Amino acid sequence: MTATASEISYIDYETFLSPSFSPHAFASTLITSTNDPSDPTVDLTTPLSRVLFDLQEIDTHIHTLTTTSSLPLLTYTSRSHTASTSLLAAITAQTTALNAAYTRLSQSILTRSEPATQLITTVTNLHTTTSLLRELGRALVLARQLEIQLAESPTPMIRAAHSVVELRKLLAANAASMDGIDLATDLHRLIVTPAESALVARSRETLGSFSLLPTATAGGTAFALDPAVVAEGQRPAVTAALQTLQLLQGGSGLAGTIQALLNTQVTASIALLTRALTALTMLDRTLVEVAARCRTLVAVEEMLAGVGLAAEVLSELDTGALSTSFFRSVAAGWEPRVREVVARGGTNARILRTGREKLREGVRGCVLKGLGDEGRGEFEVAVMVGAVGSLGR
């Protein structure tokens, strides 16, 4: 160790070089170590002198080091300055080359990119417009095709329904791009919506007019009980109506129409049977008509099965068969009417009680004829016969 280093070795360099060094804590330690804590006066001369002495010693040491090492320090500084100058020159040259390259790129590429971008935008807009016009053209073709189909006979209703569905999907798929185009709005408002309403109304009318009710003849009463013999001109129209409703309104919409048809047949049958209770001469003809109304529903169910819609519709209606729902509902509505007649008494009540077995047989025959299937009908027969249970055994 040199003489200079030994002279200042008493300085605690570790304390001053510590990252956690605090001048406030160091000053507090100097003051408390050079003063009596019980003395009310504080003497700062001694700690201040010590600090100043330490600073003077460190300054002297720094001066000594710089004086003895001035040549190496100047040599190091000169070399650093030369290296920095060379590095700056190299960076400046690279920066100049980079700026020149950027200028060339701006002139050869960026300047040309603006018209290219405008061209791409123009082509994109033209493509979008062309696609939109193509879709509008398809929509117009479909709309014209739909008008022609609606003008034809009821049989092509299915084709018209398919056209409505396709046109509706096309307009929905392009709703965003066609927003604000009057033609698209008019197609939906003036073509799609009225056509759909017309097809639904025509289909419901076709179903409502379909019937296997008896027709009066010169020799009595006759009617078709077997759906297989329904006129070919009527069966295709009914089948088309069922499929049309399925396409336009889905399973629930078709089921709702079938439910309305079922309710109509049930209401009419209850009214006929109730009226026959007070005009017994009409009872046989009434039972024939009730059977025919059931056969109408059986025929509709068979047509549903023929186009694969029976399972879905029956599931929507929560029933195993339309005929079962028919007789169950008829029995539920007729039974209170029978009890009323019996409760009122009189000639009709006596005649009904006297001929109750014949009435039960007539009801049984009505159910079996309505079902048209000798292998089933126990439940339906029991329900309908139970409706006249108030007549006694």
Q: Both 62 and 178 in a single domain?
A: no
Asked if residue 114 is part of any domain, the answer here is no
Q: Scan for tokens 């409703």, then name that residue.
A: 245
Q: What is the pLDDT along the chain (393 residues), one digit of tens a residue?
A: 444 444 545 777 788 888 888 888 888 888 888 887 777 777 888 888 888 888 888 888 888 878 887 788 788 888 888 888 889 988 998 999 898 888 887 777 767 777 878 888 888 888 888 888 888 889 889 889 888 888 876 557 889 999 999 999 988 888 888 888 888 888 889 989 999 999 999 999 999 988 887 654 434 444 444 445 554 567 888 999 999 999 999 989 999 999 999 999 999 999 999 999 888 888 899 999 999 999 999 999 999 999 999 999 999 999 999 999 999 999 999 999 999 988 888 887 888 888 888 889 999 999 999 998 656 789 999 999 999 888 766
Give the list of residues 6+ apart from residue 177 with CB closer than 8 angstroms, or none. 128, 131, 132, 135
Asked if residue 191 is part of any domain, the answer here is yes
Which tokens go with 391? 């007549």
Q: Both 365 and 302 in a single domain?
A: yes
Asked if residue 146 is part of any domain, the answer here is yes
Asked if residue 225 is part of any domain, the answer here is no
Q: Which residues of 185-203 are buried (b: 16+ CB within 10 A; e: fewer)?
A: eebbeebbeebbeebbebb
Asked if residue 80 is part of any domain, the answer here is no
Asked if residue 236 is part of any domain, the answer here is no
CA distance 21 to 15: 7
Q: Both 256 and 335 in a single domain?
A: yes
Q: Both 264 and 387 in a single domain?
A: yes
DSSP state of 22: -
CA distance 80 to 71: 14
Asked if residue 267 is part of any domain, the answer here is yes
Asked if residue 95 is part of any domain, the answer here is no
Q: Are 136 and 184 in contact (CB under 8 A)?
A: yes
The total of structural domains in the chain comes to 3
Residue 145 domain boundaries: 122-205
Q: Both 282 and 178 in a single domain?
A: no
Q: Both 201 and 253 in a single domain?
A: no
Q: Both 261 and 368 in a single domain?
A: yes
